[in-house]
Structure 1
């Protein structure tokens, strides 16, 4: 069985693609979390989110980039985290992420080429192969990595999203101004 050829992303092309972004969509398990599913005594799923990742999403929104969540699982905790971060477009319990992504584009009246998505496994591929900017965490499945424009150095739930947000903000020339605001 042959393995997919994983090549380092073209940094210049990734910057150019990220510079055009108007919308950035995020998977949850394995991206905004470490992918672990912990069950509480009543059977509830417990997820851990990285606070640095969350602040990155807030910075994207502050800079005018629309953020969205597209995830296969449905969870009250995801709805709560999205609300805490001001993510207005949340698609949960999605069996076909491509359909949710197309609905998001239609709702926002945007084309796929100004959208990005970060995902880590096969269910994300239908979106990752359509967006203008495809990204994944360092521990994404090899087939996903092989199809992304940008691969984080960090793992999902451990800073990959913040790394991505900083990359986008730098590509759009907004990072320094946001940092200066924080230092003021």
Structure 2
């Protein structure tokens, strides 16, 4: 397997449990798993993998958490994930992507076709599970990203 250069991640349902806690003033909270954070900050980045967030929603919470983890490439409010992904990582054979729902499928299929790797949380949508190279032992927001990172590094050995 070629070395993975980029780890592209969705947020809601992948890095979080998919719940959106809202107040009368808008989004108030998102819950992130510390194991995912450790996997990104202390395993993926030192291994030379560049973490990237591409998400359809926009949230200051994601910017704050991403900054804590050393993620420099955070793209929010993205309508066309394929276009953004290709501008960030033109060689899709060196991309690993983890997502959980139908809006991730087009990116996942392009990456697979190019020879990259795709994964998903255990509780991803059925269609996403069917195309994934790796299905995490954990649900989204419960360590699925860490599972995927560890699997990627095992695959590259």
Compute the TM-score of the two structures, normalised by the length of structure 1. 0.79
Structure 1 runs not aligned, ≥5 long: 1-15, 174-184
For residues 115-166 of structure 1, what are the alpha-carbon distances to aligned partners after superposition, in whole Å with 9 as ceiling and x for unaligned?
0100000110111111110110000000111111111111000011111111
**Corresponding residue for residue 119 of structure 1:** 99
Residue 45 of structure 1 deviates from its aligned partner by 3.4
**Corresponding residue for residue 166 of structure 1:** 150
Matched, 1:51 2:34: yes
Distance 1:65 1:152 in 2: 19
Matched, 1:61 2:63: no
Task: Report the structure, 1 or 2, having the larger strand content.
Answer: 2
> Aligned pairs, how many?
152
Residue 79 of structure 1 deviates from its aligned partner by 0.7
Matched, 1:76 2:60: yes
RMSD between aligned residues: 1.2
For residues 30-62 of structure 1, what are the alpha-carbon distances to aligned partners after superposition, in whole Å with 9 as ceiling and x for unaligned?
000000011135323310000110010011001
For residues 62-91 of structure 1, what are the alpha-carbon distances to aligned partners after superposition, in whole Å with 9 as ceiling and x for unaligned?
110111001010000001111110011111
Partner of 1:125, secondary structure, is helix
Matched, 1:31 2:11: no
Q: Which runs of 4+ in 1 moved over 3 A?
A: none
Matched, 1:135 2:119: yes
Distance 2:56 2:147 in 1: 23
Distance 2:82 2:129 in 1: 18
Kindly name which structure, 1 or 2, has the bigger radius of gyration based on alpha carbons: 1
Residue 101 of structure 1 deviates from its aligned partner by 0.4
Partner of 2:131, secondary structure, is coil
Compute the TM-score of the two structures, normalised by the length of structure 2. 0.92
**Corresponding residue for residue 12 of structure 1:** none
Cα contact 1:40–1:46 (8 A) shared by 2: no
